[in-house]
Amino acid sequence: MSTRRLEEPSMTALTDESAARPEAVPRGGRWIDHWDPEDGEFWDRTGRRVAARNLIFSICTEHLGFCVWLLWSIAVLHLADNGTALSVGQTLWLTTVPNLVGALLRIPYTFGPARFGGRNWTVVSGLLLLIPCGLFVFAIANPGLPFWVLLLIAATTGLGGGNFASSMANIAHFYPASKQGLPLGLNAAGGNVGVSVTQLTMPPLIAAFGLIAVGWVWMPLILAAAAGAYFFMNNLTRASRSYTMAEMGRIAARPHTIVMAVLYIATFGSFIGYSFSFGVLIGNQFPEVDASHYIWIGALVGSAARPVGGWLADRFGGTAVTFWNFLGMGLGIVAVWGGVSTGAWALFLGAFLWVFASTGVGNGSTYKMIPAIFRTRAEARAAAAGRAARERAIELARREAAAAIGLISAVGALGGALIQQTFRISVERTGGIAPALIVLAAFYGLCLGLTWAVYMRRVRLGDRRMSLAEAGV
């Protein structure tokens, strides 16, 4: 095994003085055997640089995953011009199936970094994005394909949705618990903004080069991102033990996993559900407005707000930020309802952008909460144990939190489909979206109460009574 530590921008030999201190030690395949971000000296000397480099290339791959995931949401609007006539129901299926597949794939993708290594899985999951792009080109070049074939091809874009879970689970291992909010927020925002990039760039690309170009344009970028991950990312030995299905089942059944999944439905589920639906809602309520000029703004605002939520959570605690953010989301939905009821386009747009921003802040703060919750509970249980037992408990909590992130992200993405269906039912039965807005406002109120009851109310932690918010969650 090599006795050299990982440095930037190159590998340098350990000095006698530094050899006495643990370092990030690489071996074949860019594996790092020692990684201790909770050690402040280690973090300042080596960890911060290595973590930042892995974060950058993780963002690149995850961003392209979201771009590919949203391919058909825009392409369906131009299929008729390409010689493929579909009913409204068929069009909705072509946009819903990728959402559902992407959500379901987040569960097995969570196993990827632990089973194969974060760097290795990032390369593989990035290259897999070539499949939906290639099949998209094939579908557009053959406009007479049966609908079931189109549906299968559209389903493969769900591979892009799965990338999020593996990327977030992997990056969580690189950062100390107290500093995870901002990097996880940046990582997620880099992916989320792919929604806006797709919605903004595809229409002019289609106008200039035809629908088939939409499949080709991502391929060289995917290859470049995979190459970057291959050459510049790392695998962590500490995170390499794969989860068994039994372990995942126990983690999924934990009360805090369930509660955080509900909260994440309200944040990320809202973000992705609104992103898919925003253009339709504009067309339904304000038919005189050209939705194509505004459809991409919401996703961009929500993506940009996500690292802000992570930063605020690092500064004030994820629980406090999440609590007040749900209040803001509820008030925003009430303002959207005001714009709908009065026909005020400016109020509707401004209020909806406020809601989009709130979903981003909530996404960042809830992801800060997940690892902090698992760590805090582990420390409380091991408070009376020795140092070795405490360290083992914290390491187990870190692994469980990474698994929970994947599970919670899957449920949150499925929540986006539920929000889409809430709007669909509202429009079909009443002709408008006001009933859906009432349901959503009530849901955000429920999440506000749930956050207070579980994480702000004082409970017994170890031998003390405190709230998880007081414990730093």
Encode pLDDT of 17-74 as tens digits. Answer: 334 445 555 555 589 988 988 888 999 998 999 999 999 999 999 999 999 998 887 8
Rounded Cα–Cα distance for residues 38 and 179 (Å): 10
The residue among 162, 29, 164, 149 whose CA lies nearest residue 90 is 149
246-267 confidence digits (pLDDT tens): 777 888 888 888 999 999 999 9
Q: Residue for token digits 């809601």?
A: 355
Residue 458: φ, ψ to 5°? -75, 130
Cα torsion angle, 182, 186, 192, 197, sign: positive
Sorted by where each starts, the structural domains of the chain and their CATH numbers stand as 1-242 (1.20.1250.20), 245-473 (1.20.1250.20)
* C-alpha separations of 100 from 106, 107, 178, 386 in Å: 10, 12, 33, 46
Longest CA span, the chain? 75
Burial class of residue 323 in the structure, from the number of CB atoms within 10 Å of its CB (0-12 exposed, 13-18 middle, 19+ buried)? buried
Rounded Cα–Cα distance for residues 172 and 169 (Å): 5
Both tokens of 230, joined, read 């291959």
What is the pLDDT at residue 275? 84
Rounded Cα–Cα distance for residues 240 and 262 (Å): 28
Q: Which residues contact 190 (CB under 8 A, 6 or more apart)?
A: 59, 60, 62, 63
Cβ(64)–Cβ(44) under 8 Å?
no
The residue among 231, 228, 207, 236 whose CA lies nearest residue 81 is 207
Pairing outcome for strands 31-32 and 235-236: parallel
What is the pLDDT at residue 107? 84
Query: Which amino acid is located at 252 in the chain?
Result: A
What is the pLDDT at residue 20? 43
Q: What is the pLDDT along the chain (473 residues), one digit of tens a residue?
A: 333 333 333 333 333 333 444 555 555 558 998 898 888 899 999 899 999 999 999 999 999 999 999 888 788 878 888 888 877 667 777 877 888 899 889 888 888 888 889 999 999 999 999 999 999 999 999 988 999 999 999 999 999 988 888 898 888 889 987 787 788 878 888 888 888 888 888 888 888 999 999 999 999 999 999 999 999 999 998 776 656 677 778 888 888 889 999 999 999 899 988 887 787 788 778 888 877 788 889 989 998 898 899 889 888 888 999 999 999 999 999 999 999 999 999 999 999 999 999 999 998 898 788 888 887 777 766 666 666 666 777 777 777 777 787 788 888 888 888 887 888 888 878 888 899 999 999 999 999 999 999 888 766 655 566 566 555 55
What is the pLDDT at residue 221? 96
What is the pLDDT at residue 17? 37
What is the pLDDT at residue 19? 42
